[in-house]
Amino acid sequence: MKKTYKVFSSKYDCYLSFTYLNGLLCGFQFENESEIRLDVDSLVGILEASLTFENLTHFAKSRKMAVVEVQADLSFEAFWNAYNYKDGGSKKKAQAIWGRLSETNKAAAMASLPKYEQFLKRSQTAKAFATTYLNQERWNNQ
């Protein structure tokens, strides 16, 4: 499962955001990147020091920086907006189904949306109503 962590860098006066999948770095960004002036060697050093979550915690601790986990927004509204198919189906029914899902299934449903969109483009398949996506647990098909 993907997890995102933020670390504040006083050196660059910004938050660094690290995303890990099964403990390995899969995403990185600066919160206010337009103001960052960072040379390539420094960037490579940061990325090398954070290739695994364990390395990130050691790196941050050695520099007296706090690592904070960013909680995913698993609200129904976040799902409804991310799913972005308002033309069909019932929002009320989808919300009821969403309310019955476990936190793990909610996170999986949200995480698989980009893959689902790619699948739809490749296969030229029509997008399922949100209720169908949820009832059939289509995130397990990706």
Residue 10 has pLDDT above 60, yes or no: yes
Q: Let me know: does 127 contact 87? Beta carbons within 8 Å.
A: no
Residue at a domain's end among 44, 70, 96 = 70
pLDDT at residue 11, rounded to an integer: 75
Residue 45 has pLDDT above 90, yes or no: no
- Report the mean per-residue pLDDT for the chain: 86
CA distance 38 to 2: 27
DSSP state string for 34-59: GG----HHHHHHHHHTTSBHHHHHHH
pLDDT at residue 136, rounded to an integer: 95
Which residues are within 8 A (CB) of 38 and not within 5 positions of it... i.e. 6 or more apart? 12
**This model's pTM is above 0.75:** no
Residue predicted with more confidence, 116 or 141: 116
Q: Clarify whether residues 16 and 63 are in a common domain.
A: yes
Residue 82 has pLDDT above 70, yes or no: yes
pLDDT at residue 91, rounded to an integer: 92
Residue at a domain's end among 70, 85, 108 = 70
Q: Clarify whether residues 65 and 105 are in a common domain.
A: no
Residue 35 β-bridge partners: none
Domain hosting 60: range is 2-70
Q: What is the pLDDT of residues 108-130, one digit of tens each?
A: 898 888 889 889 999 999 999 99
Residue predicted with more confidence, 14 or 77: 77
Q: Clarify whether residues 29 and 83 are in a common domain.
A: no
CA distance 122 to 120: 6
Residue 100 has pLDDT above 60, yes or no: yes
**Of the ranges 31-35, 37-41, 69-73, which is most confident?**
69-73
